[in-house]
Structure 1
Amino acid sequence: MNTNRLSKKIETILNHQVTKEAEAAQIYLSYGCWADSEGYGGIANYLFRHSQEERDHMMKVMQYIMERGGTAKIDAVKAPPANPKNLQDCFEKTFKHEVDNTNAIYEIVNLAHEEKDWATYNFAQWFVKEQIEEEKLVLELLDKLKIAGGPKASDESLLNLDTQLGKEPDSVSLAREANTENPE
């Protein structure tokens, strides 16, 4: 008896998202290593925390696939892009990556709607909300950097930004802890 409640297309697109989340984790990890090598320990810590969040997102998608009777597949991930030139470049590339991930989530939502797979449609709504938060977070980083002077920020301003980000609490909620009563 076939117990898979996911269509082939839905299972494929969800497995593609597993890979995208793994790649996102690698990008944040790579940029964190770059930031640390540039002396930005606080920013590195911030990026490392977000790498873990992306891994949690990957696990959330994998768990959903398996709960619906599908088969989660682990594919190879692309190497992270080249190191950023500076913090402005780092945050801009991070924002571009988050927008790309948002668009991938929208593809899942659209396909689930098209197929009337309301379970997957509902599941994907958590990610829609999460991506709003992710994009906002990176936009706030870009705003802070702009106030500090952008690409021409003084060393003192960059030290202040680095210190501020390093002191932020680990407020990133874990995806695996989200449920209908506490979706965050």
Structure 2
Amino acid sequence: MSTRTQAKTSKFHALLQDQIRNEFSAEHQYIAIATWFDHADLPVLAKYFYKQAVEERNHAMMIAQYLMDQDSAVEMPGIEAATSKFANAKEPIALALAQEQTVTEQIVQLAKTAREEGDYQGEQFMQWFLKEQVEEVATMRKLLTVADRASSNLFDLENYVLREMSGPSDASGAPHTAGGAL
């Protein structure tokens, strides 16, 4: 068995390892949200959040690929429990927004740490994630606003998601995903 891959000891690389867990936890939370919508017979919202779950998985695997490219060992950590019970359709969307805001703070901290440590490759790697988080937070904020406006008319909410949020995603410039993007 090869012992060439050593764990890097920089704070940035340690935070990347933590971020893998954070991204898989976000994936798990999106699956819980998607299944809640699926069970509530809201297939468009369910499909959207299933897709978001895959996106979070891919983010974790992008980080894993970066660590491997840097000849650093990758640790696959356990994940946090997901919230799966909601009182109404607005609650899971509000949770998704809060989750994206938290992930944004984590990504900003990663970029800041890479810069502070003089890890210019790490800083460059984080640029795509910073851009992605602006889009993710804005999208969830809009979805929550529309959920507020739709109130109990969930067909309007589903129609909005189908009309405005179901197009192809633009992953141009995205880092490579270990094992390939799903």
The one-letter code sitting in structure 2 at the alignment partner of 1:58 is A
| In structure 2, C-alpha distance between the alignment counterparts of 1:30 and 1:144, rounded to whole Å | 21
Aligned partner of 2:48 among 23, 46, 49: 46
| In structure 2, C-alpha distance between the alignment counterparts of 1:79 and 1:170, rounded to whole Å | 30
1:171 aligns with 2:176: no
The one-letter code sitting in structure 2 at the alignment partner of 1:172 is S
Aligned pairs (5 A) from 1:107-146 = 107-146=109-148
Deviates more, 1:46-55 or 1:84-93: 84-93
Which structure 2 residue ranges, 5 or more long, are not aligned?
Answer: 176-182
Normalised to the residue count of structure 2, the TM-score between the two structures is 0.86
Which structure 1 residue ranges, 5 or more long, are not aligned?
Answer: 180-184
Percent sequence identity over matched residues?
Answer: 25
Aligned pairs (5 A) from 1:8-47 = 8-47=10-49
1:49–1:170 CA contact under 8 A, matched in 2 = no
| In structure 2, C-alpha distance between the alignment counterparts of 1:112 and 1:4, rounded to whole Å | 19
Return the structure number with greater helix share.
Answer: 1
Partner of 1:65: 67
Give the superposition deviation at 1:172: 2.5
1:5 to 1:82, Cα distance in 2 relative to 1, 3 A:
closer
| In structure 2, C-alpha distance between the alignment counterparts of 1:169 and 1:92, rounded to whole Å | 19
Give the superposition deviation at 1:133: 0.4
Pairwise CA RMSD of aligned residues? 2.2
The one-letter code sitting in structure 2 at the alignment partner of 1:148 is A
1:27–1:80 CA contact under 8 A, matched in 2 = yes
Give the superposition deviation at 1:173: 3.8
Deviations 1:64-119 (A, max 9, x none): 01101111110111121242221111111111111111111111111111101011
Partner of 2:157: 161
Normalised to the residue count of structure 1, the TM-score between the two structures is 0.85
